[in-house]
Amino acid sequence: MSNFVTVSQLVKENNLKVYGGEDLLDKKNITTSDISRPGIELTGYFDYYPSERIQLFGQTESAYSHSMTTNNRYKVMREICRDDTPALLISRNIKPSQELLDAAKENGVPVIGSALPTTRLSSLITEYLDEKLAPRESVHGVLVDVYGIGIMLTGHSGIGKSETALELVKRGHRLIADDRVDIYQQDEKTIVGEAPKILNHLLEIRGIGIIDVMNLFGAGAVRTSSDVQLIINLEDWQADKSYDRLGSMEETRTFFDVGVPQITIPVKVGRNISIIIEVAAMNFRAKKMGFDATKKFEENLGSLIQENGQKNAEDGESK
């Protein structure tokens, strides 16, 4: 988990421009993804001012500030620029007033901007900060994209996760992460996984070593990140263990209070795990679309039992 994002990172990774305080970008830290639009503060009300947030000036805020007198505008901008204020952000390429720049410089607050409309800019920066500041967890496994479904393969070391991922890549699917998957919660329902930077596009195959999947198979064989939509746990086949044969035993694995569906696939000689995973992905997508083969089977079974019951009753009456 990252406790902060520097304003310098924010500027570089979101193509923002700097109007003032360039020497402060590496020193100012952002600790919350919440963004404030100082509307009521421009009238002089600061009793509940969230100064620790990025302060976003859109067309409305800028127009109102320009209607103020020079002295009043400077006084209000000094109140807005506080020690814990990470930055003032201006949308729509609006030129900041000299009073804003002077107050920001005096209080050590960088002034940055963008050509984007205010709402879009607010959404972009919030999503960026949500991702960067989100709690993270490192999971032992392999993450692959199969038919657009993010599948995380888990299981003990040596079970064949990486080899299975390699075969899936050869069959046209995409690798996101091998051996270690860094996951974070994007929203209330979504878990996202990605590879640690040091392992990007790399796959370890015992007996061969580390291979660069993008170099060998092309850019279409990899992805930087993916939603974790399904977990497939690979385990050694045990003759005395009862495995789910109907698909009715639903399991989930929880990350950050978000439950991710999980199925277990037993591994033994003769089973083509890659094809089974492809079918699992298609079946998962079909269920999301409302088609459930298990329910269909149960409905067919119920109809057959009802028909046999009626037939037996008729045969009994005829006797």
Active-site residue, 315 included? no
Local structure of 285: helix, strand or coil? helix
Phi, psi (rounded to 5 degrees) for 148: 85, 0
197 is in an annotated binding site: no
C-alpha to C-alpha distances, 269 to 159, 232, 273, nearest whole angstrom: 12, 18, 10
Look up 161 and say whether it is catalytic.
Answer: yes
Q: Is 159 annotated as a binding residue?
A: yes
Q: For residue 158, how many C-alpha atoms fall within 13 Å in the half-sphere facing its CB?
A: 1
Tell me how far apart the alpha carbons of residues 62 and 73 are, in angstroms, rounded to a whole number.
Answer: 11
Q: Classify the C-alpha dihedral 61-64-68-70 as positive or negative.
A: positive
Q: Tell whether residue 132 is among the known ligand binding residues.
A: no
Tell whether residue 155 is among the known ligand binding residues. Answer: yes
| β-sheet bridge partners, residue 212 | 202
Among residues 73, 145, 178, 179, the one annotated as catalytic is 179
Q: Residue 160, annotated ligand binder?
A: yes
Residue 274 annotated as part of some ligand binding site: no
Q: Which of 66, 120, 140, 206 is catalytic?
A: 140
Contact 265, 273 (CB under 8 A): yes
Angle between helices 98-107 and 70-80 (to 10 degrees): 40
Q: Which of 189, 197, 245, 319 is catalytic?
A: 245
Q: Is 157 annotated as a binding residue?
A: yes
Q: Which of 73, 161, 174, 223 is catalytic?
A: 161
Residue 200, helix vs strand vs coil: coil
245 is catalytic: yes
Q: State the binding site.
A: 155-162, 204
Q: State the binding site for ATP.
A: 155-162
Q: State the binding site for Mg(2+).
A: 162, 204
Which residues are tagged catalytic? 140, 161, 179, 245
